[in-house]
């Protein structure tokens, strides 16, 4: 389990906290409906946007190791699989939502 900070901006912390809230029955809380980007370079595909301990690459190239886009990062696949496909689907949907928001800009 990664180190999760309650007030962190990164996708790992945001999704982990949202997932815990859903397990607690707080369905109204969910993942933060915002567009998460790296605080250093502003790129959503930067590995640092996916997790706060990752190094900033100053790159928005797809498929970077550690990036949340486009593949699900390995860290939460194990956690989410424990709770079944429903949680994974919810995570994938929230990531797809971020992608749509970017395309709409």
Of 11-70, binders to Zn ion (CB under 5 A) are 13, 38, 40-41, 46, 48, 52, 56
- Nearer to Zn ion among residue 58 and residue 81 (C-beta): 58
Of 74-93, binders to Zn ion (CB under 5 A) are none
- Nearer to Zn ion among residue 78 and residue 84 (C-beta): 78
Cα gap 57→69, rounded to integer Å: 14
Cα gap 36→49, rounded to integer Å: 7
| Residue 17 C-beta: closest distance to Zn ion, Å | 9
| Residue 79 C-beta: closest distance to Zn ion, Å | 14
| Residue 19 C-beta: closest distance to Zn ion, Å | 14
35-39's contacts with Cβ under 8 Å and 24+ in sequence apart are 35/98, 35/101, 35/102, 36/9, 36/10, 36/11, 36/98, 39/9
Q: Give the N- to C-terminal CA distance of the chain in Å, as an integer.
A: 34
Provide the binding-site residues for Zn ion, judged by CB under 5 A: 8, 10, 13, 38, 40-41, 46, 48, 52, 56
């Amino acid at each position: 389990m990664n180190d999760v900070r309650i007030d962190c901006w990164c996708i790992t912390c945001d999704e982990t906290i949202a997932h815990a809230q859903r397990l607690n029955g707080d369905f109204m809380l969910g993942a933060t409906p915002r567009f998460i980007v790296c605080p250093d370079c502003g790129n959503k595909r930067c590995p640092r946007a996916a997790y706060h301990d990752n190094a900033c690459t100053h790159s928005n190239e797809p498929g970077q190791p550690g990036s949340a886009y486009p593949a699900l990062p390995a860290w939460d696949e194990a956690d989410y699989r424990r709770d079944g496909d429903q949680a994974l689907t919810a995570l994938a949907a929230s990531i797809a939502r971020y992608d749509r928001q970017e395309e709409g800009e």
